[in-house]
Chains A and B, each alone.
Chain A
């Protein structure tokens, strides 16, 4: 197991023990909530794992590097940022996908843009957000978030390359 995996497991165990000592009923509810989250996340994670497999097996990494690498710069990044904004995917499932893209030669900029728009811009939840906050707030928040994602991605590409 990797270091991160160890840390996560130790943290979870520590939290679980602490929670059990403090309140057993609440802990049972926490585990039930975790179980419900698992049911929601398993199909998405499974789909992403299969997609990663296909990506790494059938799409030559040259193609990934060419489309999402540093060469094409803005166009590739903009497209994948758009994809991130439109897709509705749990971030938990998106991280391994992003990691595999990065390993196959996608640029830091593209991957950072994808993750950031995926989490911050919600096209699917747009109608709900308009209902709760009104049009102006919603379009400002999502539009600015999209711009910010591109900026963050550009800075990250610049710092980490």
Chain B
């Protein structure tokens, strides 16, 4: 992992702990003030805590392994060469592999565009990165069921492919009208 992946987290991490502390304060005051509903709350929270403890360590290990074995450099190398028909499929597959939040994917996707990957594939890649992470999907199956997860992912893949194509067409049309660089100006 590169340092860029951790930098934006620094300040946010304190905020997350602060919010957690406040939430814990509210939670325990409410549980003690209203023991009736409080018992239900405490029991529900405890049950969800147990369920999370059973899977989180394993999910985090998987995320760590993915981040080390499938580096961003590997993704760019394979996708940057601009593939033909199966391009979108490959882009989606590759988007599911690396881990990390979406903003980590922005520079990767920019590098892909600059290396000549099509807008269509880059949109597919970004969307897959955003919502089809493999270790993460195991958690979705756990809490929302295999049927829900499979249907949501299937529909997402179809619509993301359509969206990639649409965005590419729109950007191409503007480019023809204004004569701008195809990928827009670099900031």
Contact residues of A with B, CB < 8 Å? 1-2, 4-5, 7-9, 11-13, 15-16, 19, 26-27, 29-41, 43-47, 49-54, 56-58, 90-92, 95-96, 98-100, 102, 108, 111-112, 115-116, 119-120, 122, 125, 128-134, 136-137, 140-141, 144-145, 148, 151-152, 155-156, 159-160
For the complex, give the distance between the alpha carbons of A7 and B134 in Å: 13
* Cβ-neighbour of B144 out of A111, A120, A136 (below 8 A): A111
Contact B187 A26 (CB under 8 A): no
Contact B136 A152 (CB under 8 A): no
* Cβ-neighbour of B184 out of A7, A54, A133 (below 8 A): A133
Contact A57 B37 (CB under 8 A): yes
Contact A4 B144 (CB under 8 A): no
Contact residues of B with A, CB < 8 Å? 1, 6, 9, 13, 16-17, 19-20, 23-24, 26-27, 30-31, 34, 37-42, 44-46, 48-49, 51-52, 54-65, 67-69, 99, 101-103, 106-107, 109-110, 119, 123, 126-127, 130-131, 133, 135-136, 138-144, 147-148, 151-152, 155-156, 159-160, 163, 166-167, 170-171, 174, 183-185, 187
A54 partner residues in chain B, CB cutoff 8 A: 26-27, 30, 41
For the complex, give the distance between the alpha carbons of A44 and B101 in Å: 14
A90 partner residues in chain B, CB cutoff 8 A: 101
Interface centre among A26, A27, A53, A98 (most CB of B within 10 A): A53
Contact A136 B174 (CB under 8 A): yes
Contact A116 B152 (CB under 8 A): yes
Contact B61 A16 (CB under 8 A): yes
